[in-house]
Structure 1
Amino acid sequence: MDTNYGMEIVRATEIAALTAARLQGLGDHDHILNQARKAITKTLNRLHIDGCLVNDRFTQRKDTYQLPSRIGKGGEKTDIMAVALEAHRSAADGKNNATSYAVIAKEGSIQSLPNLSMYKIVVGPRVGQVIDINQPPAVNVKRVARTLRKYTENVTVCILNQTRHQKLINEVRQCGARIKLIEGGEISGCLAALTGEKADIYIGYGYAPEGALVAAAMSCLGGYFEGKIFYENDRDKREAAEHGIDDFDKIFRLQDLIRGKEVAIAATGITDGEFLEGVRFTSNGAITTSFVARGESRTYRKLETHHFFDYKPVF
């Protein structure tokens, strides 16, 4: 891409985060999601791009504000992913791990994915390609331990606290590894494993579209990812076929989801999470913590931004 858009799209995630943070803990799941989606759309539409929206998990969902299929004022053709508010239920209930994300990439770079469940394993660049999604969780945990030169008991596995993960949780416990259970925010959990700061490996089911966003982050930070879509019936397979997927046993890796290095990602914390701190309101504004990374140069930044509403209100 001709422009480094990372610092442009982070403004969109900041505005979405500030908007959602004002509604944190009020208990209205739909309202907080819709307001964040409106905010991120308004800001992304200021970009001088001709952006094609890809992998919006809430497309055609009833009672949800719909993002436009084309984003921007016109200009360079790009792909756009916008997760205005991941873990919107957590944010509405005042819980952790709510974050706003945006990805921009060269046109045709991001694989379109069906809105189905995907089993994922994510590790950081220090671990690399030692994991195998077809192996039992204990095998992968022990491989990570050997690579990191840790005792298995010192490896931290991040898992979503869901009923369908109970067998997975039991297997990880039996091998002796530490577990970090999170109530929501699988992307944050995956990025925590990528950086290795709060987890060594992420394992579990989540949504397939989020897999493309994790892959975008990985193209900027390094690491290794394997994902496998779970099909419950023939209708799911037909939906996948509409996205160009005809191998229903395919193991998706980074190169399958993000084609090329011309990609940038931005994220802003809404509530405190595994990857970023949440919004902190002050007497005359707020402080946000964000992350920006670029694939071409492998540069990344953590930003603390002080917003002064007295000078330029954002709402």
Structure 2
Amino acid sequence: MNTNYGMEIVRATEIAALTAARVQGLGDHIDILNQTRLAITKILDRLPINGTMVNDRFSTRPEAFQFPQHLGKGGEDADVMAIALEAYRSAADGRNNSTSYAAIARAGAIQPVPNLNMYKIVVGPKVGDAIDINQPPAVNVKRVARTLRKYTENVTVCVLNQNRHKQLIHEIRSCGARIKLIDEGEISGCLAAIKGEKADIYIGSGYAPEAVFVAAAIRCMGGYFEGKIFYENDRDKKTASEHGITDYNKIFRTEDLIRSREVAIAATGITDGEFLEGVRFTPNGGITNSFVARGETHTYRSLTTNHFFDYKPVF
């Protein structure tokens, strides 16, 4: 792309995070979701692009504010993906690990995916392709340990704390690895595994659209990802075919979901999480913690931004 849009889309995630933080903990899940989706849309729509919104997980939810299919003020063609408020229930309840995300890429670079469950494994660049999604979790954990030159007991596996993961958690514990359970926010868990600071590997089932953002992050930061979509019936397969997916046994990797290095991502913490700290309000504004990365150069930045509402209110 002709422009580094990372510093532009981070403004959108910052405003989304500040918007969500204002109503954090009030308990209204749909209100906080909709306010945040509206806020991120307003900023993204100011970009000098002909943008196409892809992979919105809430596009079929009638109670959710709907993203426009096309956005921007005009310019080069681009794909845009926004997860305005991941872990919106946690944010509404005042719990951890809620974050706002956005990605922008060359037109046609982002693979459309159905809103279905995907089993995924994510590791950082030091591990690379040592993992194999067709192998049992314990085997992959031991491969990670061997690659990182750690004892298995010192490997940390991040897993969503969901009923569907009971057997997965049992298998990981049986090989002696440490587990970090998170209630929501699988993208944060995946990013933590990519950085390798709070986790060494992420394993588990979540949504396919979230996997696309993780693939965009790997394009920018390095790392390795494998995922398989879970189909419950023929209707799910029909939905996948409408997104151009006809190999129902396909193992998705980064290059399948993000087909170009011309991609940038941004993230801003709303509540404290595995990857970013949340919003802090001050007497005359707020402080946000964000992350911006670009695939073409593999550069990434951690940003702490002071917002002064007395000069230009954002709400």
TM-score (norm: length of structure 1): 1.00
1:216 Cα offset (Å): 0.2
2:71 & 2:291 partners in 1: Cα distance?
A: 22
Q: Secondary structure at the match of 1:267?
A: strand
The letter for the 2-side match of 1:92 is A
Aligned match of 2:105: 105
**Aligned counterparts of 1:60 and 1:117: Cα–Cα separation in 2:** 16
Distance in 1, matches of 2:67 and 2:204, equals 28
How far 1:260 sits from its partner (Å)? Answer: 1.1
Q: Deviations over 1:84-136 (max 9, x none)?
A: 00000000000111000000000000000000000000000000001000100
* SS of equivalent to 1:129: helix
1:114 equivalent in structure 2: 114
Q: Counterpart of 2:224 in structure 1: which amino acid? A: Y
Answer yes or no: is 1:90 the counterpart of 2:57. Answer: no
The residue identity in structure 1 corresponding to 2:243 is H
Distance 1:12 1:99 in 2: 12
> What does residue 190 of structure 1 align with?
190
Q: Tell me the alpha carbon deviations over residues 234-254 of structure 1, each in whole angstroms, 9 at most, x when there is no partner.
A: 000000000000000000000
In structure 1, the residue matched to 2:263 is: 263
Q: Does 1:218 align with 2:218?
A: yes
Return the offset for 1:71. Answer: 1.0
Deviations 1:141-180 (Å, cap 9, x if unpaired)?
Answer: 0000000000000000000000000000000001000000
Residue of structure 1 equivalent to 2:164: 164
Look up the match of 1:66.
66
> Aligned equivalents of 2:59 and 2:138: distance in 1?
37
In 1, Cα distance between the equivalents of 2:26 and 2:135?
42
3-state SS, counterpart of residue 205 of structure 1: strand
> 1:249-305, CA deviations, whole angstroms, 9 ceiling, x for partnerless residues?
000000100011000000000000000000001111100000000000000000000
**Structure 2 counterpart of 1:182, one-letter code:** I
SS, match of residue 83 in structure 1: strand
- The alignment partner of 1:194 has SS state of helix
Aligned residues: 315
Alignment-derived partner of residue 18 in structure 2: 18
Q: 3-state DSSP class of the match of 2:129? A: coil
Determine the C-alpha separation between the residues in 2 that align with 1:311 and 1:109: 38
Percent sequence identity over aligned pairs: 76
What residue is the counterpart of 1:251 in the other structure? 251
Displacement of 1:226: 0.1
Question: Aligned partners of 1:86, 1:60: CA distance in 2, in Å?
Answer: 17
Q: Quote the Cα distance in structure 2 between the aligned partners of 1:302 and 1:156.
A: 23
Runs of 4+ in 1 over 4 A off after TM superposition: none
Unaligned runs of 5+ in 1: none
Paired letter, 2:226: E
| Local SS of the residue matching 1:112 | coil
Q: Tell me by how many angstroms 1:62 deviates.
A: 1.2
Cα shift at 1:6: 0.3
Determine the structure 2 residue equivalent to 1:32.
Answer: 32
Tell me the residue number matched to 1:143: 143
Counterpart residue identity of residue 74, structure 2: G
Determine the C-alpha separation between the residues in 1 that align with 2:110 and 2:298. 18
- Partners of 2:113 and 2:260 in 1: CA distance: 17
Please state how far the C-alpha of 1:60 moved relative to its aligned partner. 2.3
**2:304 aligned partner:** 304
* Partner SS state of residue 252, structure 2: coil
C-alpha displacement of 1:307: 0.4
The residue identity in structure 1 corresponding to 2:193 is A
Cα distance in 2, alignment partners of residues 276 and 212 from structure 1: 19
Distance 1:170 1:116 in 2: 24
Q: Secondary structure at the match of 2:110?
A: coil
SS where residue 259 of structure 1 aligns?
coil
Give the distance between the partners of 1:233 and 1:260, measured in 2 at CA.
Answer: 32
1:152 equivalent in alignment to 2:149: no
CA distance in 2, matches of 1:115, 1:46: 27
Aligned match of 1:128: 128
User: Cα RMSD over matched residues?
Assistant: 0.4
Give the 3-state SS of the residue equivalent to 1:120 in structure 2. strand
Extract unaligned runs of 5+ from structure 2: none
Cα deviation per residue 1:19-58 (whole Å; 9 max; x = unaligned)? 0000110000000000000000000011110000010000
C-alpha distance in 2, partners of 1:13/1:38?
12
2:202 corresponds to which letter in structure 1?
Y
